[in-house]
Structure 1
Amino acid sequence: MNDVPLEEAEPARKAFGDLTEGEREVVRDALLAIGRDPAVGREIPGWRPPSVEYTYTTPLARDSAEAITVVYTHTRGMGVTVVFYFRDPQVVD
């Protein structure tokens, strides 16, 4: 499977700058997963085609309740746009 092109919106670039280096590493891993398969995230209902909006939440550590959530849109044939990154105080799946 080919990697899906990723780009960051300005709010995501600013949010990334506010993350710690450990949080940035978690984000990089999340972006690799999203780039391989944009449907890896949880679809946000009500978004209208051709784009679909998703959230992808990943724990900061294996035993951590804290997480980072990536909000992104995927437009088939055009790629993924990362909208925002934010710290999540707990993972709810």
Structure 2
Amino acid sequence: MSEVPLEEAEPARKAFVDLTEGEQEVALDALALIGRDPTVGREIPGWRPPSVEYTYTTPLARDSAEAVTVVYTHTPGLGVTVVYYFRDPQVVD
């Protein structure tokens, strides 16, 4: 299975630099998953095909209350564009 091509929009490149080293590692792991299957994220309602916008949130650690969210668009046949990264405090069950 070939990986889906990924590119970063300028706001994403700027936001990535502002993440800590640990956050960057988590974001890179998330990108590997997104590159294999863009539908791993949560679809943002209201987008019309062929492009769909998603968010994918991944915790910094298994028991962490902090996470990194990747916002991206996917257009079948054209690939994934990462729109933004941000720190995402979340509630741990």
Could you tell me how far 1:91 is from its partner in structure 2? 5.1
Paired position in structure 1 for 2:17? 17
- The alpha-carbon distance between structure 1 residues 12 and 4, as it changes in their structure 2 partners (threshold 3 A), is same
Establish whether residue 75 from structure 1 lines up as the match of residue 75 from structure 2. Answer: yes
Contact kept in structure 2, 1:59 and 1:91, CA below 8 Å: no
Q: Which 4+ residue blocks in structure 1 deviate beyond 2 angstroms?
A: none
Establish whether residue 45 from structure 1 lines up as the match of residue 37 from structure 2. Answer: no
Paired position in structure 2 for 1:26? 26
- Give the CA RMSD over aligned residues: 1.0
Paired position in structure 1 for 2:5? 5
Cα distance in 2 between the residues matched to 1:55 and 1:71: 5
Contact kept in structure 2, 1:60 and 1:68, CA below 8 Å: yes
Paired position in structure 2 for 1:60? 60
Of all paired residues, the percent bearing the same amino acid is: 86
TM-score normalised according to structure 1 size: 0.96
- Count of equivalent residues: 92
TM-score normalised according to structure 2 size: 0.96
Q: Which runs of 5+ in 1 are unaligned?
A: none
Q: Per the alignment, in what secondary structure is the counterpart of residue 49 of structure 2?
A: coil
